[in-house]
Amino acid sequence: MHISNGIIDGPVAAIFAALALAALTACVLRGRRDLDDRLAPMAGLVAAFIFAVQMLNFPIFTAGVSGHLLGGALAAMLVGPWVGALCVAVVLVVQALIFGDGGVAMLGLNITNMALLGTAAAYALIALLLRVLPRTRAGLAVTAFVAATVSVVVASQGFVFEYWLGGTTDLGNNLGGLAGTMAAVHLLIGIGEGLITATTVLTVAKVRPDLVYALRSLRAPAAPAVPVAGGVR
Amino acid sequence: MKNRSWAFLAGGLLVALLLAGVVSNYASSHPDGLDSSLLKGCTVDADDNIVGGSCPAQQARDHELADSPLADYGVRGVRNSFVSTGLSGVLGVLVTFAIGAGGFWLLRRRGGTPTDGDATTPTEVHPATSDDVRRRADAAS
């Protein structure tokens, strides 16, 4: 879902670059609370994994169209929303600066859609669904799938909003057409995103449930204040 | 970190390297959802190049760093496309991990406030010390 140069005009791109920078700064400040000696390398792994899976464009039903993982929901499940948004942002920066994927001038727009909107939408759903769904593997899978699918559609509508503000082709009254096309295509891509996210989260939850942030922070019973000095188990 | 965490980290990286280094060659090369939505109004040939009509995608400009040695997920100078794509993927995973893990490590919270609701894994006040404690505990058990 990377926007190429020339698609959105310069001023709007610059505004979103400033917005994205401010939001990422907030993520750094808030995310530091989650980042401990254990989460930091795991967050690096999440970023590297998202980079890898983003290379794997899968075909969708519509002929001649592909999609790939965005990763916001996966990151939110595994390392939380703040660090998760930073993970996706790291991937997008590497792609723009080294792999020529997504214009450098468009980086703020791409970070807004995929790292910020996608992750935020996913986490809102994760927080809701983990509370209402049964605490089973199926509940976890449904949470991951739904959060991931919806996050992709939300991210696609972020682009439509940006295009409404600064698209370089005048669509006249046909912005609704773009919104509909984007939503429909990304619902299909979102199903792929949902399957990948659910599979990955279930795998991690099986091997190392303590490394799934959503399970730690949303499902842990109200913890007694344990004195932590020494870190002895 | 415990050995178990190192093993998980190594395993995860291996999976990422295999996906980016090998499986990436079987990825679809068709335009993604956004690019294809912007092609509406244009006709394209079998290689997805615009051959007629008018659509938003025609406004696209070249990437600032289109001459990057790794541009478009290939390594410049490597003829074999399988190797070129795979190698660029491997490099991308390693660079992303280095920047991500390095950056998050520098940002991490040091000192001891407990993580919210994390009863099973108390935050380590002195990581080195507690590792020593754990190693001794592991050795004893």
pTM for the structure as a whole: 0.88
Q: Check residue B112 and give its pLDDT.
A: 55
ipTM: 0.91
Statement: residue B122 has pLDDT above 70: no
Going by pLDDT thresholds of 50, 70 and 90, the confidence category of residue B60 is very high
**Among candidates A4, A35, A68 on the partner chain, residue whose Cβ is nearest the Cβ of B109:** A35
| Chain B CB contacts of A34 below 8 Å | 115
A10-217 topology per CATH = Arp2/3 complex 21 kDa subunit ARPC3 (1.10.1760)
For an interface test with A, give the residue of B115, B133, B141 to mutate (most A CBs within 10 A): B115
Statement: residue B124 has pLDDT above 70: no
Q: Has residue B137 been placed in a domain?
A: no
Statement: residue A230 has pLDDT above 60: no
Cβ atoms of A2 and A95 within 8 Å: the answer is yes
| Chain A CB contacts of B62 below 8 Å | 5
Going by pLDDT thresholds of 50, 70 and 90, the confidence category of residue A218 is low
Statement: residue A1 has pLDDT above 50: yes
Cβ atoms of B112 and A228 within 8 Å: the answer is yes
The phi, psi pair for A7, rounded to 5°, reads -80, -40
Please count the structural domains in chain B: 1
| Chain A CB contacts of B24 below 8 Å | 52, 55-56
| Cβ separation A65–B118 shorter than 8 A | no
Q: What is the tens place of the pLDDT at every residue in A52-66?
A: 999 999 999 767 899
CA dist A119 to A18, A51, A72, A88, A150, Å? 19, 15, 4, 9, 10
Pick from A198, A195, A189: nearest CA to A143:
A198
Statement: residue A226 has pLDDT above 70: no
| Cβ separation A87–B105 shorter than 8 A | no
Going by pLDDT thresholds of 50, 70 and 90, the confidence category of residue A36 is very high
Task: List the single residue in B with minimal CA-CA distance to A163.
Answer: B56
Average pLDDT over all residues of chain B? 83
| Structural domain for B97, as ranges | 3-110
Three-state SS at B87: helix
Q: What is the mean pLDDT of residues A125-142?
A: 95
Statement: residue B87 has pLDDT above 90: yes
Q: Has residue B121 been placed in a domain?
A: no
Q: What is the mean pLDDT of residues B18-40?
A: 95
| Cβ separation A7–B31 shorter than 8 A | no
Q: Check residue A233 and give its pLDDT.
A: 42
Distance from CA of B132 to the nearest CA of A (A): 10
**Among candidates B20, B107, B117 on the partner chain, residue whose Cβ is nearest the Cβ of A223:** B117
Distance CA A106, CA A111 (A): 9
Residue A4 is given by DSSP the state P
Statement: residue B108 has pLDDT above 70: yes
Q: Check residue A50 and give its pLDDT.
A: 98
Q: What is the tens place of the pLDDT at every residue in A99-115?
A: 999 999 999 999 999 99
Annotated domain spans of chain A: 10-217
Highest-confidence segment of A142-146, A169-173, B47-51, B106-110:
A142-146
Q: Check residue A220 and give its pLDDT.
A: 52
Q: What is the mean pLDDT of residues B124-141?
A: 46
Statement: residue A222 has pLDDT above 90: no
